[in-house]
Amino acid sequence: MKVGIGRERRDGEKRVAATPETVTQLTALGVDVTVEAGAGLASGYSDAAYEKAGAQLVADFDAAAFDVLCHVRPMTPELAATLPAGIITVGLASPASELPTVAALAAAKVTAFALELVPRISRAQSMDALTSQALVAGYRAVLEATIRFPRFFPLYMTAAGTIPPARALVLGAGVAGLQAIGTAKRLGARVSAYDVRPASADEVTSMGGTFITLDLASVEGTGGYASELAEDRAVRQRELLAPHVAKADVLITTAAIPGRPAPLLVTREMVAAMPAGSVVIDLAAETGGNVEGVLPGVDQLVPTAAGDGFVTLVGMQDAASAMASDASRLYAKNVANLLALMTRDGQVVPDFTDEVIAGACLTVDGEVRHAPTAAALEGKN
């Protein structure tokens, strides 16, 4: 079978769906791997390295010519519509925000696997792209904040005076949040964090942060993810978070619900109540944002309520892509490991009795398998 790895076309995307290491892994399974020339250059992987690993390099990449197509970012509806029936695709699909592409995949009878939908169970950890890319994004978010923040993160006691540490608040204590907590703490900030799952308290503490407890009941979703709050509880959550946000110099929001729009955690008024010079980094900007009015890839200056300056609101875009080499290294292993689970004797044949394969399937035989996405498409029609 032929596995194709193309160059990512979306502006700003530097990752690649296979590395020379995973090409070796895939060819050992008995499949033929074709890589588009230049596909890995932005991630630091040369064409020569791919050829040495056993891949065939092509300058003219036809996505429809393969049995399996691996990608990083969601495909466009136009590309999805050109794919032949029965082709297998593996990559990120962002089903909540890419409904036209999902509809096109179903209409073309593509067997599409979305890495966001991989079940969060121990057996599937090596295929969990959300976790691997969140690790990169959480680290990067803190670096982006330090660049924009006009003060030091750590405490400094000097002959000219004492500089107090920055106060960082992280909302969401999943993988990205915990990485942000640890990174901000290592840089010397005083870090606090909140998550709707009280079980996260021990993890926050282990990373050096202080866990914020609000007067809200626990909301634990499947696979360790948080569930979406009812609107009245979401409003109450924002009310209780407001004083904590107002004290923060740096706010990093990381809350996400797989397959759904990001929950709104912070209103514009809450941002305006922060000190002048503060920085807000919203890692969920591409799926609607945790912060009201955030725009992916855009820095906005929000006037403070006190009228003494501005707060910088940053909608992160392609956060993991900003560290493309290591992000690709991790992501490509996720892709290869999922393909390995589906491959027997050189043939990629998904076994839908396997809970990992069934859970990760987005579309097959013209049907949208992911129930929330199917419901969203029906509502749109």
Give domain status of residue 377, yes or no. no
CA dihedral 368, 370, 371, 373 (to 10 degrees): -80
Does residue 212 share a domain with residue 87? no
pLDDT at residue 242, as a whole number: 97
Is 137:176 a contact under the CB 8 Å cutoff? yes
Domain hosting residue 352, numbered range: 2-129+324-369
**Of the listed ranges 60-74, 226-240, 250-264, 317-331, the one predicted with least confidence:** 226-240
The backbone torsions φ and ψ at residue 69, rounded to the nearest 5 degrees and listed phi first, read -120, 120
Which pLDDT tens digit goes with each residue over 76-119? Answer: 999 999 999 999 999 999 888 899 999 999 999 999 999 999 99
Query: Is residue 281 very low, low, confident or very high in pLDDT (cuts 50, 70, 90)?
Result: very high
Same domain membership, residue 308 and residue 195: yes
Cβ contact 253:291 at 8 Å:
yes
Q: Dig out the tokens for 30 from the structure.
A: 């008995």
Same domain as 300, residue 206 = yes
Question: How many domains in the chain?
Answer: 2
- Whether 228 and 294 map to the same domain: the answer is yes
Query: Same structural domain for residues 231 and 206?
Result: yes
Residue 65 lies in a domain: yes
Q: Which of 319, 338, 359 is the last residue of a domain?
A: 319
Query: Is residue 181 pLDDT above 90, yes or no?
Result: yes
pLDDT at position 217 is: 66
Residue 374 domain-assigned?
no
200 with 214, same domain: the answer is: yes
CA distance 351 to 125: 18
107 lies in some domain: yes
CATH number of the domain that residue 112 is part of: 3.40.50.720
Is the residue at 135 inside a domain? Answer: no
Same domain for 263 and 122, yes or no, is no
Residues 174 and 244 in one domain: yes
pLDDT in tens, 2-60: 999 999 999 889 999 999 999 999 999 999 999 999 999 999 999 999 999 999 999 99
Look at residue 381 and tell me whether its pLDDT is greater than 90: no
Same domain, 27 and 162: no
**Pure H helices in 248-370:** 268-272, 324-342, 355-360
Regarding whether 301 and 355 lie in a shared domain, the answer is no
- Parallel, antiparallel or unpaired: strands 299-303 and 279-282: unpaired
Q: What is the pLDDT of residues 230-250, one digit of tens each?
A: 788 889 999 999 999 999 999
Residue 258: is its pLDDT beyond 90? no
Decide if 77 is inside a domain. Answer: yes
Residue 163 resides in a domain:
yes
- Residue 46 falls inside a structural domain: yes
pTM value is 0.87
Please check whether residues 41 and 166 belong to one and the same domain: no
- Co-location of 22 and 40 in the same domain: yes
